[in-house]
Structure 1
Amino acid sequence: RYLPDVKLIAILRNPIDRAYSDYLMHVREATDVAGKVQPLSEQLKFRSKGSFTLKKGLYSSQLSHFFETFNRDKIKVYLYDDLCKNPVALIQDMYRFIGVDETFIPDISKKAQVAQVPKVKLVNDLLRKQNPFRTMVASGLKFILPPEVRQTVRSALINMNSTDKRQAALSKQERQQLLEFYRDDILKLQDLIQRDLSVWLTV
Structure 2
Amino acid sequence: MATSLQFPRSSRSLALIVAVSVGAVVLTGCTPGAESTSSATATPKPTSSETSEPTSTPSETTPASDAPVVSQPIDASCGDLVSADDIYNYNPNFTLVEDAAPNPDTKPGQIAGMNGLTCQWVHNTSKDTVDIAVAKLSDDELTALKNLAITESTPVPTYGAPPIEGYFTVIDSQGEAQIFTGSYWIAARSTTFFEPGDVEELAEAVMQNLPA
TM surpasses 0.5: no
The answer to which structure, 1 or 2, has the higher relative contact order (CA under 8 A, 6+ apart) is: 1
TM class, shorter-length = under 0.3
TM-score, length basis structure 1: 0.22
Choose 1 or 2 for highest CA Rg.
2
Which structure has the highest helix share of the two? 1
Which structure has the highest strand share of the two? 2
